[in-house]
Structure 1
């Protein structure tokens, strides 16, 4: 049921997420999660500033109501689930821009003034790292 993945900072994208609130797939029959994963992978592969954050994929993060969902995680840091993204490169870039700031932060908390506009309003949950609670 579980498979090994890198343990550093990562954007885990749900590759089975709906395309939108009303559509399961796009006109070509592709899920939004797959399209968002492809955009994240493409941008990360072509732009060196994103190399410190892995893009990982898995089916279903169980946030189906909040289509195009990602989980941002790193050892010893607060984790976040974000969703309701358009499955495109603009959203992928905003996610990766935030992920770089997240990876550089001490505990996973990025000051709001440093958030890219493209992630504002997309946060669903935050989760404490194992063995800790947020003060």
Structure 2
């Protein structure tokens, strides 16, 4: 099963880039690609993760797994993001044991989102 690492490439991290200047989010995206993407992880650039006040952000997701959004990142964190993505890919439910997470994934989590439940698995309430 493939894991998706979404990287916000429009993140400005509080900077005001000049015209033509690369945004901090694009620098993070490039640094992640340079660090080497783990097997089974798809890196997808996205335009916004709505974590604008939290610096650069990424999100990890996969079908049937918990999803995470991490913020306050920069291109200096790329290798830790890659390590965290590999650990996430190895966790069948997306729940990586606390001590197995890179420090930035322990301290800079913005959201943890439960897996989607297929509509057929939702049991309707009994009618009275």
TM range, smaller chain: 0.7 to 0.9
Note if 1:24 corresponds to 2:16. yes
* Cα distance, 1:36 vs structure 2: 0.3
State whether residues 25 and 74 of structure 2, in contact with CA within 8 Å, keep that contact through their aligned partners in structure 1: no
When you count strand as a share of all residues, which structure comes out higher?
2
Could you say which residue in structure 1 is the equivalent of 2:4? 10
Note if 1:62 corresponds to 2:62. no
- Separation of aligned partners in 1, 2:24 and 2:113: 24
Could you say which residue in structure 2 is the equivalent of 1:73? 61
5 Å matches for 1:1-135?
A: 8-18=2-12, 20=13, 22-25=14-17, 29-44=21-36, 50-88=38-76, 91-131=77-117
Q: TM-score, normalised by structure 1?
A: 0.78
- Separation of aligned partners in 2, 1:55 and 1:110: 19
Once superposed, which parts of structure 1, at least 4 consecutive aligned residues long, lie more than 4 Å away? Answer: none
Q: Which SS does the other structure have where 1:12 is aligned?
A: strand
State whether residues 3 and 41 of structure 2, in contact with CA within 8 Å, keep that contact through their aligned partners in structure 1: yes
Could you say which residue in structure 1 is the equivalent of 2:125? none
Q: TM-score, normalised by structure 2?
A: 0.82
Q: Which runs of 5+ in 2 are unaligned?
A: 119-128
- Separation of aligned partners in 1, 2:89 and 2:99: 16
* Cα distance, 1:119 vs structure 2: 2.6
Aligned pairs, number: 117
Largest Rg, 1 or 2? 2
Q: Which runs of 5+ in 1 are unaligned?
A: 1-6
